[in-house]
A and B are shown apart, each in its own frame.
Chain A
Amino acid sequence: MPGGPFLGGYGPALLGGLAATLQIAAASLAVATVFGLLGAFAKLSGNTALRGVAATYTTLIRGVPELLLLLAVFYGGQTGLNALGGLFGWDYIDVNPFVAGVLTLGFIFGAYLTETFRGAMLAIPRGQAEAAQAFGFAPWRVLWRITLPQMVRHAIPGFANNWLVMLKATALVSVIGLDDVVHRAGLAAAATRQPFTFYAALAVIYLGITSLSLLALKALNRRFSLGVRTAEL
């Protein structure tokens, strides 16, 4: 490879961008988990209004492309924040693409996780919560000690799937200007006139993270399924 070892000297720069990508993915996952849990509780609650709000949330988000939402939040956030700032006489504020990306991706995948968590909670036999109540557990304690731990096991496949999809969606944040690994690869490609090399390297990096995630999730699945008997095929 001309220019020196390790991707013509651009290797470390690429890996620097990778740190930003992984940070976005992790932060978005956290935000999405919060939105997902709230959404799942809302959908399973007895309150019709709450159920309606949650249903609107999941339907709307799943009906629109992520890139569109990302652009809308980024530009809308800029415009909205600056309109607000205009009222107070602030200077022009630049919305941080990292924040915009994390909030949007978290919001979007929260909708998908709502369905995952809802399905997981429905998979727990009702007798568990009933027995806990019979023992005099307060509702929050039932949730914390009985429902949530069991929900985790059922939620893992869906959660894993959503993590993998979201990991790939973080590539979109480069479109709103975040200096992540996709952006760095683009810069390196332009500088060396070797776009294929760098985008292929990018693909290998993502494939590596995906593979590591799959291994970790398999281990997690095994840990949470200890003592569970599966059908002997």
Chain B
Amino acid sequence: MDWSIVADALPKFALGLQVTLALLAASVVTGLALSIPLAVARVSARRWLAWPVLGFTYALRGTPLLVQLFMIYFGLAQFAWLRDSLVWPLFKSAWFCSWMALSLNTTAYTTEMLAGALRATPHGELEAARAAGMGPGTVLRRILLPGALRRALPQYGNEVVLMLHATSLASTVSLVELTRVARDVYEDHFVVTEAFGTVGVFYFVLTFLLVGGFRLLERRYLRHLAPKRAGADLGMKPA
């Protein structure tokens, strides 16, 4: 194991790490923001709202992310009206296309997750809210969404970890994130362990941090589901 190669390539690794984290953060934020209204539409009783969203999630969950990425990065160049438009510089960039593909993909998965969580709302909560006189908007804001986000938290943590792994696909459209740096270092020195092993360790640590972070969030937001510790005093005095 040649540590000098690793040391020399450290600036490259740092840059790749930056790009990976930026891509992950941007995609996760966009995905979550888009998926909340889509999830509400998905569980709506109005079929004209629910079915298009179902079509969207079915298409995006049923096809590989790599294909979706290629469609956006390579595919959209086919359209002359896009090439001549003002937004073309955006669609030429690997970062923008990777962000778009990842965001759409995570939107689809998160929408289904949140839709399931919304459907799992205990009916009593809904009844009580309506009995208290809350309008549909207020019920959504104060009862349905907080509950659903809480319920979906463990699954969502998993999804964010999968998103981290998905950022490595951006290397195939020449975005210089961690996996691309690994390939570059390999192609420079033909050393597998130093190149791929180091990047593997980076990803592993990031995964570990994400899982830990979500576990902390779960401890805070799903505290009511945690097992009661032995001897927990409920504050009741003996008779």
Contact = CB atoms under 8 A, between A and B. Distances in A.
Contact of A195 (B74, B165, B172, B199): B74
B62 A206 contact: yes
Nearest to B62: A210
Interface stretch (A46-54, A59-67, A117-125, A150-158): A59-67
A170 to B, nearest CB: 8
B67 A171 contact: yes
A105 interface: no
A44 interface: no
A21 B75 CA distance: 21
Given A75-B192, A196-B76, A199-B75, A65 B64 contact: no
B22 interface: no
B196 A196 contact: no
B4 interface: no
Interface string B177-214: 00100110010001011001101100110011000000
Interface string A123-153: 0000000000000000000000000000000
Q: Interface size for chain A: under 10, 10 to 19, 20 to 34, or 35 or more residues?
A: 35 or more
B201 to A, nearest CB: 9
Nearest to B20: A65
B44 to A, nearest CB: 20
Interface string B127-153: 000000000000000000000000000
A202 B78 CA distance: 16
Given A79-B192, A196-B79, A207-B63, A68 B200 contact: yes
A226 B51 CA distance: 31
B62 A65 contact: no
B64 A169 contact: yes
Interface in A62-96: 62-69, 71-72, 75-76, 79-80
A233 to B, nearest CB: 12
A194 B237 CA distance: 78
A201 B64 CA distance: 13
B179 A67 contact: yes
B165 A65 contact: yes
B74 A60 contact: no
Contacts of B110: none
A68 B77 contact: no
Contacts of A62: 207
A65 B179 contact: yes
Contacts of B76: 196
Most buried by A among B62, B167, B196: B62
A200 B75 contact: yes
A62 B208 CA distance: 10
A71 B183 contact: yes
B57 interface: no
Contacts of A203: 59, 63, 67-68, 71
B172 A175 contact: yes
A195 B171 contact: no
A56 to B, nearest CB: 12
Given A68-B199, A199-B74, A63 B168 contact: no
Contacts of A223: none
B160 to A, nearest CB: 13
Contacts of B193: 76
Contact of B203 (A63, A71, A175, A193): A63
Given A67-B169, A182-B70, 7 more contacts: A64-B207, A68-B199, A168-B64, A186-B70, A196-B74, A197-B78, A199-B75
29 contacts: A63-B207, A64-B165, A65-B165, A66-B168, A68-B168, A68-B196, A68-B200, A71-B179, A71-B183, A71-B186, A75-B186, A75-B196, A76-B192, A79-B190, A80-B192, A168-B66, A171-B66, A182-B64, A186-B70, A195-B75, A199-B70, A199-B75, A203-B67, A203-B68, A203-B71, A206-B67, A207-B63, A210-B62, A211-B62
Enumerate the 4 nearest inter-chain pairs by beta-carbon distance, A residue then B residue, closest first: A196-B75, A65-B168, A168-B64, A72-B196
